[in-house]
Amino acid sequence: MEEVQVKEHINQIISGDTREYSILVEQYKGMVYSICFKIIGNQELAEEAAQDTFVKAFKSLNKFRGNSKFSTWLYQIAYFTSINAARKGKKESVDLQEVYLSENKNELETDERKVLLHQAINQLKPEEKAIITLYYLKELSLEEVAVVARLSLSNVKVKVHRIKKKLGSILENMLNEEIKELKYE
């Protein structure tokens, strides 16, 4: 949906036609749920955070000025809603049994790498997890991540660099532990 259409829907909603909001929810529900799930790591809690995001966005719709894209504004709400949910101790690790493992060896290796990466990402702090998710998994530019996270561009660059190093260390430790286990089997 183009920004012009989004602004038309927003104007209609603010004017009292709240049914128009369902169009925006339908358009962005996948994006919002995805960011919530990546940060929280639990389906039920991510659904709750996504719902809270849309409620907060609806209540604040008249505050949307159009200085950024609507999706960026909505991402920002989802980002902070998810981090707050994770901080409240609601964060649970991803159920790794939900990951589909293919019989094809190459796909199996790829899935094993994904599992390891998700395990490593789940060891990050909620803010770190959110930033790395926005940048790599959602493929937002550093500038867009800065807007969503309300950080300066230089701060985001530093954080992404540090998070990558931290993930590297976590993965290295995980693999060293696995190697030790293999030696003593």
pLDDT, tens digit, 9 for 90 and up, residues 21-44: 999 999 999 999 988 988 888 888
Q: Is the pTM of this model over 0.75?
A: no
**CATH code, 1-92:** 1.10.1740.10
Average of per-residue pLDDT across 57-62? 90
Q: How far apart are CA 88 and CA 40, in angstroms?
A: 11
Q: Are 91 and 42 in contact (CB under 8 A)?
A: yes
Q: Are 137 and 130 in contact (CB under 8 A)?
A: no
Q: How far apart are CA 121 and CA 114, in angstroms?
A: 10
- The mean pLDDT of the chain is 81
* Range list of H helices, the chain: 3-14, 21-40, 43-59, 70-85, 105-121, 126-132, 142-149, 153-183
In the chain, domain spans: 1-92, 94-185
Q: How far apart are CA 100 and CA 37, in angstroms?
A: 17
CA 40 from centroid of its chain's CA atoms: 8
108 compared with 53, residue with greater pLDDT: 53
Average of per-residue pLDDT across 111-118? 73
Q: List pLDDT tens digits, range 135-172.
A: 887 788 899 899 988 999 999 999 999 999 999 899 88
110 compared with 84, residue with greater pLDDT: 84
Examine the pLDDT at 97 and tell me if it is beyond 50: no
We find that the CATH architecture of domain 94-185 is Orthogonal Bundle (1.10)
Examine the pLDDT at 99 and tell me if it is beyond 70: no
Q: How far apart are CA 171 and CA 113, in angstroms?
A: 10
What pLDDT is attached to residue 184? 67
Examine the pLDDT at 64 and tell me if it is beyond 70: yes
What pLDDT is attached to residue 143? 92
Compute how many other C-beta atoms are within 10 angstroms of the C-beta atom of residue 172: 11
- Residue 150 tokens read as 């309300």
Q: How far apart are CA 102 and CA 3, in angstroms?
A: 40
What pLDDT is attached to residue 120? 86
Q: Are 35 and 133 in contact (CB under 8 A)?
A: yes
Identical topology for domains 1-92 and 94-185: no
